[in-house]
C-alpha cells in the first residue's frame, strides 16, 4: 500500500473528523476506494472507535433507480415522482441519527454511472430523501476521494499523475492554511456586501452583487472543528442573499451526470430570472426547476488551496482551487446563519465556478480584497478601484 494512503486516512480520521474513542462512525466506501477504506478502518480501530461500513456504489444506485422506473412504467405512469419512493426510509435514517461521524470515501468505477437514469427520477429521489440527508449532515461528516483510474480519466490525466495531484491537495499543512484563510473569513464576517467583476476579451463579463450582512463565513480548513466537511478543502464560504446582476461561469463541470459548459445566470431580487449554457442547458434547467430555493444562492465560496493547480471536472477539487470563485444555487449551510434563522432552503446545492486569475476583482463594501486571483495580503497585489 502506498504510504500516502495511510497518511490520507490519518488526516481524515484525526484532523478532519476529529474521531475519538467510543465514537460511532459510519464509513461509506465506493467500489474502487477499497485501499483507503481499509486504511481508514485500521485508523478507527486504533483510536477505539466503532465502525459501520456501507457500500457506496453509484452502479448499485443506478440499478435501484432503473428498477423504480420500470415499476412506474409498468403501472402506466409517464415519469417517476417523489411519491414513488418511501419518504426518508427508516433504516437508513436511523443509521445516521445514531452516528457520531460519517465518512464518505468516493472513488467509483464510472463517474457517469447514472447517466441513463431519467432526470425526473433523480430529482424525485433527492426530494424523497431530504430527511435522510439532513440526518447525515447532523453528524460530523467528511467527504473525501481515493484516486482511481476513472477519476484520472475524467481529469484527463495518467493514473500516477492523478494520484500525485490528489495527495498534493490532501496532504497539506492544514493549520498554516487555516491561519491564512482566517484573514478572508474576518473580511467577510465584517462585511455587508460583495461585488465580483470580471472583464476579459475571451468571455462574457461578470458583474454581480450580493448581501452578506449578518452572515458568518466558514474557514473551510478540511476539519469539522472549522465547520468544514470536505477533504481536501481550502475555501472560505458564506451564505449570500439579495443577489443582483450577471455571472458567467467558465469552468466546465458535470451536473446531474451531464457535461455543462459556459453557464450564464442573471439575477434579479435574489433570484435567477434568466439562464443559458453552451452545453448541458437541460441539466441546468432541471436543477433550477427542482424547487423555489434552487433559483436562489446558497453559497459564495472563495478558493484558496494552491495545492490544487488544475481543473479536473470534480467539484471536490475544482471549487477549492486558488484563483477561483464559486457560487452555488440551492441550499445554504446552517453554519453561515445566525442562531435560529433559516437560510435558503432547497433539495439541491449545485456549485458553479468562475476563473478569476485575470481581468477580475472582488470587493467587500467597496474595497478590493482580491484582484486577478491575488489577495491584498499577498505579494503582487495591485491596489486601485
CATH number assigned to the domain comprising residue 113: 3.40.1830.10
Q: What DSSP designation does 305 have?
A: B
Identify whether 92 is part of a domain.
yes
This prediction has a pTM of 0.84
Same-domain status, 211 and 89 = no
Return d(Cα 41, Cα 112) in angstroms, integer: 28
Distance CA 228, CA 17 (A): 9
State whether 357 and 208 are in the same domain: yes
- Beta partners for residue 208, in sequence order: 196, 245
Residue 385 is predicted with a pLDDT of 64
In-domain check, residue 18: yes
Ramachandran angles phi, psi of 248, nearest 5°: -115, 125
List CB contacts of 59: < 8 A, sequence separation 6 or more.
Answer: 31, 108, 109, 110, 113
Query: Residues with Cβ < 8 Å from 83, sequence gap 6 or more?
Result: none
Q: Are residues 231 and 328 in the same domain?
A: yes
Looking at 170, 185, 205, the residue that finishes a domain is: 170
308-359 tens-digit pLDDT: 989 998 888 999 999 999 999 999 988 899 987 888 999 889 999 999 999 9
Q: Which of 304, 292, 310 is nearest to 346 (CA)?
A: 292
Same domain, 32 and 66: yes
| 382 lies in some domain | no
Peptide bond into 232 cis (omega under 30): yes
Q: Considering the domain boundaries, does residue 309 fall inside one?
A: yes
The per-residue pLDDT for 343 is: 85
| d(C-alpha 289, C-alpha 346), whole Å | 11
Does 362 lie in the same domain as 214? yes
The answer for residues whose C-beta is within 8 angstroms of residue 87's C-beta and 6 or more apart is 128, 129, 131
Same domain assignment for residues 244 and 112:
no
Single out the residue in 143, 170, 197 at which a domain terminates: 170
User: 200 and 57 in one domain?
Assistant: no
Pick out the chain residues at pLDDT < 70: 384-385
Residue 200 and residue 226 share a domain: yes
Q: Are residues 272 and 225 in the same domain?
A: yes
pLDDT at 22: 98
**Cα(351)–Cα(12) distance, rounded to whole angstroms?**
23
**326 and 200 both lie in a single domain:** yes
C-alpha cell, 174: 492544514
Tell whether 156 and 179 lie within a shared domain: no
385 belongs to a structural domain: no
Domain boundary (125, 145, 170) is at 170
Closest Cα partner for 364 from 220, 212, 178?
Answer: 212
Structural domain contains residue 242: yes
Q: Are the C-beta atoms of 329 and 240 separated by less than 8 Å? A: no
Q: Are residue 52 and residue 162 in the same domain, yes or no?
A: yes
Neighbours of 320 (CB within 10 A): 25
- 305 grid coordinates: 488551496
* Domain encompassing residue 29: 3-170
Q: Which of 332, 384, 374 is nearest to 184 (CA)?
A: 374
Q: How many domains does the chain have?
A: 2
User: Is the distance from CB of 103 to CB of 26 less than 8 angstroms?
Assistant: yes
Asked if the structure places residue 122 within a domain, the reply is yes
Q: 12 lies in a domain? A: yes
Amino acid at each position: 500500500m502506498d504510504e500516502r494512503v495511510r497518511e490520507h486516512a490519518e488526516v481524515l480520521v484525526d484532523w478532519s473528523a476529529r474521531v475519538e474513542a467510543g465514537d460511532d462512525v459510519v464509513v461509506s466506501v465506493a467500489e474502487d476506494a477499497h485501499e483507503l477504506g481499509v486504511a481508514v478502518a485500521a485508523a478507527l480501530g486504533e483510536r477505539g472507535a466503532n465502525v459501520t461500513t456501507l457500500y457506496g456504489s453509484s452502479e448499485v444506485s443506478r440499478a435501484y433507480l432503473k428498477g423504480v422506473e420500470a415499476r412506474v412504467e409498468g403501472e402506466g405512469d409517464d415519469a417517476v415522482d417523489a411519491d414513488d419512493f418511501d419518504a426518508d426510509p427508516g433504516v437508513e435514517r436511523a443509521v445516521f441519527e445514531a452516528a457520531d461521524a460519517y465518512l464518505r470515501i468516493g472513488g467509483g468505477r464510472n463517474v457517469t454511472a447514472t447517466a441513463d437514469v431519467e432526470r425526473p427520477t433523480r430529482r424525485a429521489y433527492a426530494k424523497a430523501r431530504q430527511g435522510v440527508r439532513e440526518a447525515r449532515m447532523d453528524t460530523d461528516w467528511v467527504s473525501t476521494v481515493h484516486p482511481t483510474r476513472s477519476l484520472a480519466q475524467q481529469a484527463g490525466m495518467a493514473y500516477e499523475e492523478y494520484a500525485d495531484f490528489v495527495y498534493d491537495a490532501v496532504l497539506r499543512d492544514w493549520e498554516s492554511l487555516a491561519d491564512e484563510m482566517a484573514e478572508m473569513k474576518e473580511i467577510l464576517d465584517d462585511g455587508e456586501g460583495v461585488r465580483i467583476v470580471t472583464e476579459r476579451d475571451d468571455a462574457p463579463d461578470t458583474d454581480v452583487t450580493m448581501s452578506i450582512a449578518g452572515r458568518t463565513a466558514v474557514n473551510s480548513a478540511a476539519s469539522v472543528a472549522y465547520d468544514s466537511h470536505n477533504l481536501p478543502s481550502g475555501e472560505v464560504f458564506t451564505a449570500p442573499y439579495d443577489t443582483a446582476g450577471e455571472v458567467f461561469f467558465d469552468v466546465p463541470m458535470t451536473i446531474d451526470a451531464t457535461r455543462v459548459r459556459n453557464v450564464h445566470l442573471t439575477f434579479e431580487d435574489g433570484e435567477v430570472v434568466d439562464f443559458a449554457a453552451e452545453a448541458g442547458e437541460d441539466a441546468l434547467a432541471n436543477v433550477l426547476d427542482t424547487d423555489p430555493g434552487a433559483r436562489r444562492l446558497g453559497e459564495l465560496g472563495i478558493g484558496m488551496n494552491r495545492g490544487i493547480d488544475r481543473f479536473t471536472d470534480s467539484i471536490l477539487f475544482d471549487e477549492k482551487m486558488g484563483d477561483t470563485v464559486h457560487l452555488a444555487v440551492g441550499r445554504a449551510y446552517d453554519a453561515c446563519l445566525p442562531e435560529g434563522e433559516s437560510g435558503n432552503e432547497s433539495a439541491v446545492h449545485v456549485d458553479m465556478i468562475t476563473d478569476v486569475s485575470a481581468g477580475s476583482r472582488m470587493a467587500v463594501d467597496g474595497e478590493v480584497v482580491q484582484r486577478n486571483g491575488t489577495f491584498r495580503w499577498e505579494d503582487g497585489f495591485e491596489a486601485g478601484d
